[in-house]
Amino acid sequence: MEISQALEHSQPGLVKRLTTATRQHQLNYRSEQTYLHWISRFVLFHDLTDPALLKADDRRLYLDYLTAQVKVSRARLNQATQALAFLYSEVLTTPETPAAA
Protein backbone atom coordinates (compact mmCIF):
# COMPACT_ATOMS: atom_id res chain seq x y z
CA MET A 1 0.00 0.00 0.00
CA GLU A 2 1.33 3.40 -0.96
CA ILE A 3 1.70 5.91 1.83
CA SER A 4 -0.98 8.32 0.60
CA GLN A 5 -3.36 5.38 0.14
CA ALA A 6 -3.05 4.61 3.85
CA LEU A 7 -4.23 8.11 4.73
CA GLU A 8 -7.12 7.95 2.29
CA HIS A 9 -8.12 4.54 3.58
CA SER A 10 -8.15 5.75 7.18
CA GLN A 11 -10.11 8.92 6.38
CA PRO A 12 -11.20 9.79 2.83
CA GLY A 13 -10.03 13.25 1.80
CA LEU A 14 -7.32 13.45 4.46
CA VAL A 15 -4.44 13.81 1.98
CA LYS A 16 -6.13 16.75 0.29
CA ARG A 17 -6.93 18.39 3.65
CA LEU A 18 -3.36 17.92 4.83
CA THR A 19 -1.92 19.27 1.59
CA THR A 20 -4.25 22.27 1.70
CA ALA A 21 -3.29 23.03 5.31
CA THR A 22 0.45 22.85 4.60
CA ARG A 23 0.07 25.22 1.66
CA GLN A 24 -2.07 27.64 3.67
CA HIS A 25 0.72 27.76 6.23
CA GLN A 26 3.20 28.28 3.39
CA LEU A 27 5.27 25.24 4.30
CA ASN A 28 7.68 24.17 1.59
CA TYR A 29 7.12 21.06 -0.50
CA ARG A 30 9.73 19.03 1.40
CA SER A 31 8.01 19.79 4.72
CA GLU A 32 4.69 18.76 3.21
CA GLN A 33 6.18 15.44 2.07
CA THR A 34 7.82 14.88 5.46
CA TYR A 35 4.52 15.48 7.26
CA LEU A 36 2.73 13.10 4.88
CA HIS A 37 5.39 10.49 5.57
CA TRP A 38 5.22 10.63 9.38
CA ILE A 39 1.43 10.90 9.52
CA SER A 40 1.07 7.95 7.14
CA ARG A 41 3.42 5.86 9.26
CA PHE A 42 1.34 6.83 12.31
CA VAL A 43 -1.85 5.66 10.59
CA LEU A 44 -0.20 2.43 9.44
CA PHE A 45 1.17 1.81 12.94
CA HIS A 46 -2.42 1.94 14.21
CA ASP A 47 -3.77 -0.43 11.52
CA LEU A 48 -5.33 2.29 9.33
CA THR A 49 -7.48 3.64 12.16
CA ASP A 50 -8.98 7.05 11.44
CA PRO A 51 -6.58 9.47 13.19
CA ALA A 52 -9.54 11.50 14.44
CA LEU A 53 -10.40 8.51 16.65
CA LEU A 54 -6.91 8.20 18.11
CA LYS A 55 -6.06 9.84 21.43
CA ALA A 56 -2.94 11.39 22.92
CA ASP A 57 -1.98 8.00 24.39
CA ASP A 58 -1.96 6.55 20.87
CA ARG A 59 0.41 9.31 19.77
CA ARG A 60 2.68 8.64 22.73
CA LEU A 61 2.68 4.92 21.94
CA TYR A 62 3.76 5.63 18.36
CA LEU A 63 6.48 8.07 19.39
CA ASP A 64 7.73 5.62 22.01
CA TYR A 65 7.85 2.94 19.33
CA LEU A 66 9.92 5.20 17.08
CA THR A 67 12.32 5.83 19.94
CA ALA A 68 12.64 2.34 21.40
CA GLN A 69 12.11 0.00 18.44
CA VAL A 70 13.01 1.96 15.32
CA LYS A 71 15.62 4.03 17.16
CA VAL A 72 15.09 7.15 15.09
CA SER A 73 17.34 10.11 15.72
CA ARG A 74 16.18 12.99 17.89
CA ALA A 75 15.75 15.12 14.75
CA ARG A 76 13.48 12.51 13.12
CA LEU A 77 11.51 12.13 16.34
CA ASN A 78 11.01 15.90 16.39
CA GLN A 79 9.77 15.76 12.78
CA ALA A 80 7.27 13.04 13.65
CA THR A 81 6.12 14.96 16.73
CA GLN A 82 5.66 18.17 14.73
CA ALA A 83 3.80 16.33 11.97
CA LEU A 84 1.34 14.85 14.46
CA ALA A 85 0.91 18.18 16.21
CA PHE A 86 0.17 19.80 12.84
CA LEU A 87 -2.30 17.05 11.94
CA TYR A 88 -4.28 17.45 15.14
CA SER A 89 -4.12 21.23 15.47
CA GLU A 90 -4.45 22.34 11.85
CA VAL A 91 -6.07 19.52 9.87
CA LEU A 92 -8.32 17.67 12.28
CA THR A 93 -8.74 20.82 14.40
CA THR A 94 -8.83 19.12 17.76
CA PRO A 95 -7.05 20.52 20.80
CA GLU A 96 -3.44 19.37 20.86
CA THR A 97 -2.33 17.62 23.99
CA PRO A 98 1.42 17.42 24.31
CA ALA A 99 2.81 14.06 23.27
CA ALA A 100 5.72 12.63 25.19
CA ALA A 101 8.86 12.67 23.14
Residue 95 has pLDDT above 80, yes or no: no
Residue 32 has pLDDT above 80, yes or no: yes
Share of the chain above pLDDT 90, in %: 78
Residue 4 has pLDDT above 90, yes or no: no
Burial 75-93 (b: 16+ CB within 10 A, else e): eebebbbebbebbbebbbe
Beta-carbon contacts of 98 under 8 Å, excluding residues fewer than 6 positions away, are 56
Q: Which CATH superfamily includes the segment(s) 3-91?
A: Tyrosine recombinase, N-terminal domain (1.10.150.130)
pTM reported for the whole predicted model: 0.85
Residue 18 has pLDDT above 80, yes or no: yes
For the chain, the domains span 3-91
CA end-to-end span of the chain: 28
Residue 68 has pLDDT above 70, yes or no: yes
Amino acid at 68: A
